[in-house]
Chains A and B, each alone.
Chain A
Amino acid sequence: MTDEKPTQIFIMGKAYDVPPGVTIMDAMEYAGYRFVRGAGCRSGFCGACGTVYRKEGDYRFEFALACQEMVQDGMHLTQLPFTPAPRAAYELPSLDSSENVLLQYYPEIARCVSCNTCTKACPQDLEVMEYVQAALRGDLAEVAALSFDCIQCGLCAMRCPADIKHYHMAQLARRLLSVSASPVPEHLTERLKAMASGACGEELDELVGLDVDALKERYSAREIEPAAEGAA
């Protein structure tokens, strides 16, 4: 710990001094908590660590990703392990996107009273209520555009007085749009065909046979985006 004055936070009501300038997640771990659920990529991308807190003197709930938000003096915290929000089961290719499929699979969107509580809860600052409204009028493109940066943390669904499952519904909208409006990617079609006929079988068998340490090594050394030919 540095010489800087520690930050005082409250975890489930109990005061802790933690180093200043660390994230909520790091602060809670510093205080001795261990996350089994409610933590994931630790990079603000997976949506596993959606969290709520209050600040002293403020009547409002604040919402954030625990791995991204820095602690502040007087923060009252806990960590949410999970948002129970059932996702509808559907066979994507068999859906008819000329009908309002979103309303069929998530009929509770019709209960939206435009209270905007979902929007206030979104740690990604998305216009969540606006995309629910777009869903009501069957505007898949608008739902997809407004929800594109959703990380599926579920805080919207947790807060909704109408029990809407916003993020699952928006995911269905994006999927429908990709099926109905996007061109079929040639390389993916080719790849799937190749895999179906047994390509990569040997490589896969080899991976299955590796122990955990060897897998970790391979994973760390993997090439995420192959450099384009001729690129410096």
Chain B
Amino acid sequence: MNAITYFPGCSLKDSAASFERSTVAVMERLGHPLEELPRWTCCGTVAALATDDLMHLVAAVRNFERAQKIEAEEIVAPCAMCFNTLRQVAMRVNVDVEARDKINAFMNEEEDYEGGVAVRHLLEILRDRVGWDAIEEKVTEPLFDLPVSAYYGCTLVRPSGVGIDDPAAPAVLGDLLEALGATVVKTPFDTECCGSYQVVDRRDLAVDRSLRILRAAITRGAAVIATSCPLCQYNLEEARRGALAEGMLVEATAPVVAYFTELMAAAMGLDEELLPADLRAAVVRSRETTPEGV
């Protein structure tokens, strides 16, 4: 089977290193090894697309050109933010020949990008190519009775046409968690924004939004919130840390925030080193409370 061309993105190499480690390990276990796109650059981030100019598309197109160079028809991103940015640009330059020509003329040190490279999120590969059944087969330590909130945020599902699932009632992450044996906890905040980049200029705003997401999960008994974006992860963790310090939340009920691939690694019995201590503790706790024979 051909390896999947993988676009890590900057965060997975830095602040979200555990996202990358668990991603690489679970895909290896599933028999779909990842091969890192050579000489990839920053995707540009969704914020860059807020400006209506071609310059901010260059970063993404350069990555497509590098995928084209190795004859890869698609690139797969685990980070929801990178995925969203790259797919939005792909959807534009794969059809807008005028924009593509202009970018190609600017990037005169590279081969022309001809269009046609598809961008997929890792969850799409798991759902559409690997399949929930195949994942379930690899689960050796099911997360029985672990209540997990499937937090989508914005970039996995919006805008419609770009997102990987129904923007109002997505199922993909919940379906994955069920395949791992977890109990999915639905909240009205599953597709609410965490505050995103506002954390830089309006920290209070991001903390406020993230706290609402955390509280909705607590009210419904979630032990873990599953994420797919390093920025969501950061905002939720920061809000959690602050609220614990100020006594607004208590350790016993505040859900652990974890990447979905870390939960997969836990269910597949992969090296415990892959799991952050707080997630490992939550998984152990849920197993201890699970009655024999379940």
Contacts and interface: CB of A to CB of B under 8 A. Distances in A.
Interface of A: 100, 112-116, 119-120, 129-130, 133, 136-139, 161
B99 to A, nearest CB: 15
Given A112-B42, A113-B44, A100 B55 contact: no
Given A100-B15, A138-B13, 6 more contacts: A113-B55, A114-B58, A115-B106, A116-B107, A130-B39, A133-B10
B55 A136 contact: no
A137 B44 contact: no
Contacts of B15: 100
Nearest to B60: A114
A133 B7 CA distance: 14
B41 interface: yes
B292 interface: no
A119 B44 contact: no
Contacts of B288: none
Contacts of B107: 116
A136 B14 CA distance: 9
13 contacts: A112-B59, A113-B44, A113-B56, A113-B58, A114-B41, A114-B44, A119-B109, A129-B41, A137-B11, A137-B14, A138-B13, A139-B13, A161-B55
Contacts of A139: 13
A113 B39 CA distance: 15
Contacts of A119: 109
Given A137-B10, A137-B13, A137-B14, A114 B59 contact: yes
Contacts of A130: 39, 41
Main secondary structure of the interface of A (DSSP, over half): loop
B59 A113 contact: yes
B240 interface: no
Contacts of A112: 41-42, 59
Interface residues on B, range: 10 to 19
A138 B14 CA distance: 6
A119 B41 CA distance: 14
Interface centre among A112, A113, A139 (most CB of B within 10 A): A113
A166 B11 CA distance: 20
B62 interface: yes
Interface centre among A120, A130, A133, A139 (most CB of B within 10 A): A133
A117 to B, nearest CB: 10
B48 interface: yes
A136 B10 contact: yes
B196 to A, nearest CB: 15
A138 B56 CA distance: 22
Nearest to A129: B41
Interface string B136-148: 0000000000000
Nearest to A162: B55
A139 B14 CA distance: 8
Interface string B105-127: 01101000000000000000000
A161 B13 CA distance: 25
Nearest to B59: A114
Nearest to A136: B10
Nearest to A120: B109
Contact of B62 (A114, A136, A161): A114
Contacts of B48: 113
A115 to B, nearest CB: 5
Contacts of A129: 41
Contacts of A115: 55, 58, 106
A170 B59 CA distance: 21
A197 to B, nearest CB: 43
Given A113-B59, A114-B59, A114-B62, A136 B106 contact: no
A127 to B, nearest CB: 8
B42 A136 contact: yes
Interface in B47-68: 48, 55-56, 58-59, 62
Contacts of B106: 115
A114 B39 contact: no
Interface in B20-79: 39, 41-42, 44, 48, 55-56, 58-59, 62
